[in-house]
Amino acid sequence: MIEFDRVTKRYDETEVVSDVSLTVMPHTITVIVGTSGSGKTTLIRMVNRLVEPTSGMIRIDGEDNRLVPEFELRRRIGYAIQGHGLFPHRTVAENIATVPTLLGWERARIRAKVEELLTLFQLDPEFFGPRYPHELSGGQQQRVGVARALAAEPNLLLMDEPFGALDPIIRAKAQDDLLAIQKHFGTTIILVTHDMEEAFHLADRIAVMDKGEVVQHGAPAEMLVRPATPFVEELIGATERPFRLLAIETAGDAVEPGAAEGTPIPEGLSQREALSELLWSGRSALPVAAANGSILGKISLDGLVKRAARPR
């Protein structure tokens, strides 16, 4: 659990983070959104003490983070940033192995970890392990950056626009990888993004920052129904509300009994994507398939229209 307790950061006279109190529950994804310059990066960099708060305290599992030596914090907390920050003269495998090596893991354990992570990110370890970052595409480098942040199996992962530079297709893939990994390891993740679509897709909780303050912190659906300020409402975008609501849950959550014709929708697809498939197919229902290919039932336009309506 991460507790921000009345955290303030000032640079000279300018307050860039103002009296933020926020609790991040273990094994959840909290997404921080807000306009440029609202203090998102500063807030998360205070967790691993790349930035020191002017006042207030951050506790990690109950422990004041100032009592933990900085090098220890940075080994314990994964940190992935836009542009990935890979070491150019180290291979992909060496990059991922950075923190485990510092921690003195045995070679066999390091090798196994590197292979596991590359495989999870669907990068063939034999092919990609010995390559150098410049031999990879931007999207592949970005995934290696996230793999590196995860290598020492941190309980906590801080991510600052980790998918910012990716094209929409690779981005969607990277988001799904992240969700799978979060499920697999139970990692607590705090992620900063400008992309509301990404926020609604990934978040268990969204924190909205405006001029250094957290103006709302809650479940995505709650934010749609009860935006705390006009700023939050504007950020969500009134015309997007039904679609944002559908983006929160998966097709698997909307399965209805019965059969339907057409190409099956994977159960992990968001309901928003399922709606799009339905509209494009011109059908009123499509089958929904599990990862192993078995048909779970169907998803219907009528069902999704009901789910997209304002919750009561």
Ligand X SMILES: Nc1ncnc2c1ncn2[C@@H]1O[C@H](COP(=O)(O)OP(=O)(O)OP(=O)(O)O)[C@@H](O)[C@H]1O
Give the footprint of ligand X on this chain (CB under 6 A). Answer: 11, 16, 34, 36-42
Number of other residues whose CB lies within 10 A of the CB of residue 129 = 19
In whole angstroms, the minimum distance from the beta carbon of 32 to ligand X comes to: 8
When the beta carbons of 38 and 65 are compared against ligand X, the nearer one is 38
When the beta carbons of 37 and 138 are compared against ligand X, the nearer one is 37
In whole angstroms, the minimum distance from the beta carbon of 192 to ligand X comes to: 6
Identify the sign of the CA torsion 61, 11, 194, 246: positive
Number of other residues whose CB lies within 10 A of the CB of residue 60 = 21
Q: How far apart are CA 224 and CA 165, in angstroms?
A: 27
In whole angstroms, the minimum distance from the beta carbon of 209 to ligand X comes to: 6
When the beta carbons of 37 and 237 are compared against ligand X, the nearer one is 37
C-beta separation of 217 from 244 below 8 A: no
In whole angstroms, the minimum distance from the beta carbon of 128 to ligand X comes to: 29
Q: How far apart are CA 171 and CA 139, in angstroms?
A: 8
- Give the Å distances, CA to CA, from 86 to 95, 140, 161: 7, 11, 15
When the beta carbons of 11 and 127 are compared against ligand X, the nearer one is 11
In whole angstroms, the minimum distance from the beta carbon of 161 to ligand X comes to: 7
Residue 267 main-chain phi, psi, to 5 deg: -65, -25
When the beta carbons of 36 and 292 are compared against ligand X, the nearer one is 36
Residue type, 296: L
